[in-house]
Amino acid sequence: MSGYKSLLYILVFLYVFPLFPQNHWDNYIHEKTIGSTYQIFGDNVNLRDADNLKSKVKKKLSIGSAVTILAKTNQIMEQDSVKEYWYEVKSENEIGYIWGGLIADYSFPIEDHTILCKNLGVKLGKIELKLIQGDKLLSQSKWEVGPVSNESWKHQIYPSSEFTPSPKFLFGLTYLVFSEIEYGYTNEQLITISPDKKLISQFSWNPGSCDPPSCAESWLVFPSETLNADIKTQRKITKGKKNTIQELTHSFDIEDSNFHEYYKSEYIWNGTTFQKKESQ
C-alpha cells in the first residue's frame, strides 16, 4: 500500500466511519468533574434548590460566573437535543442545583477576554464557543466536529502577529473525538478572533493516528518556525513561509521501518481566512 493510500485509509476511518450508527459512544453523556470549578455558559441562569425545573430559584447567575461542582445527581434532562445531568454546585456562599447544559465544559482566558467551550453532545456532534468580556457576551459560534468526549480539552494561543493583516487572536482548541480506531483521536481546531471580535473557525488537523500497521503523524510549521530534518524517518527540513501555516504529515508502517512518505498542506492567510493548498 502506498503512503498516500495508507494516509487516505486512516482518514476514511477517522472522518467517515465514526458517522455510522450504533457505535460505542451512542449512549455517552459527558460529565463534569466533581470538585472542579467551571464557568456558567448561559446567561441569567437559575440556581435552584432542587434538581428540576419546578423547584424554587435561589439565585440568578450571569454568563462567566464561577461554580464549583459538589455532586452529580441521578436526574438527566434533554433540551434541544442536548442531554446532561443536573449537578449540585456552589456559587460563592450559595449551594443549589443547575442543569449541566448551562455550564461550560472548558474555558480559558485570552488577555482580558474569556473563551467558553461547550460540548453539545454526541447526538449533535457539535462544539459551541462563546467569547465574553466580564459578564458580557461578545460573539458565539458552533461547529460540527463529530462525537466529542470531555476527556482531553486543551488550548494553545498562537502568535497572530506573524500574519498580515493580523487577526486579533489565533488559538487552537484540542478535544477528543470518538472513533472506532483505538477508542478516539485528538483533533485541534484553529480559530481566529477578528478585529471586530468574531469567532471564525479556520481549519482542523490531527496530530497523530494509527490503524496498525498504517500510522500517521503531523506537525504545523508557522512562518517564523523551522521543522528540522530527521534522517531516521527520511524527513526533510521544512522552513516557515510568509503568511502561511504548513501542515506536514508523515505516513509510515509500523511493520516496515523503511517505509516513510510525506504529504504537505499549506494554509495561506488572506486577511480573513486560511485558504488550503495541497501538494504531494
How many angstroms separate the CA atoms of 134 and 65, rounded?
9
Go through the domains of the chain in sequence order and give each one's CATH number. Answer: 3-27+105-279 (no CATH), 37-102 (2.30.30)
Q: Sorting pLDDT into bands at 50, 70 and 90, what band is 15? A: very low
Q: Is 125 left (phi over 0), alpha (psi -120 to 50) or beta?
A: left
Pick from 250, 143, 233: nearest CA to 188: 143
How many angstroms separate the CA atoms of 179 and 168, rounded?
34
What pLDDT is stored for residue 179 in this prediction?
Answer: 83
pLDDT digits (tens, 9 = 90+) for 117-128: 999 999 999 999
Model confidence at 13: pLDDT above 70: no
In the block, residue with C-alpha cell 510568509: 242
What pLDDT is stored for residue 182 in this prediction?
Answer: 63
What pLDDT is stored for residue 19 in this prediction?
Answer: 42
Strand stretches in 56-181, DSSP E = 57-61, 66-79, 82-91, 94-99, 106-110, 113-119, 126-133, 136-144, 154-158, 169-178
Max CA-CA distance within the chain?
Answer: 67
pLDDT digits (tens, 9 = 90+) for 220-244: 999 999 999 999 999 999 999 999 9
Q: How far is CA 52 from CA 41, 49, 130, 154, 193, in A?
A: 18, 9, 26, 32, 37
How many angstroms separate the CA atoms of 126 and 273, rounded?
21
How close are the terminal C-alpha atoms of the chain, in Å? 16
What pLDDT is stored for residue 209 in this prediction?
Answer: 83
What pLDDT is stored for residue 211 in this prediction?
Answer: 81
What pLDDT is stored for residue 22 in this prediction?
Answer: 56
How many angstroms separate the CA atoms of 197 and 210, rounded?
37
pLDDT digits (tens, 9 = 90+) for 41-94: 999 999 999 999 999 999 999 999 999 999 999 999 999 999 999 999 999 999
Pick from 154, 152, 170, 151: nearest CA to 162: 170
How many angstroms separate the CA atoms of 186 and 244, rounded?
23
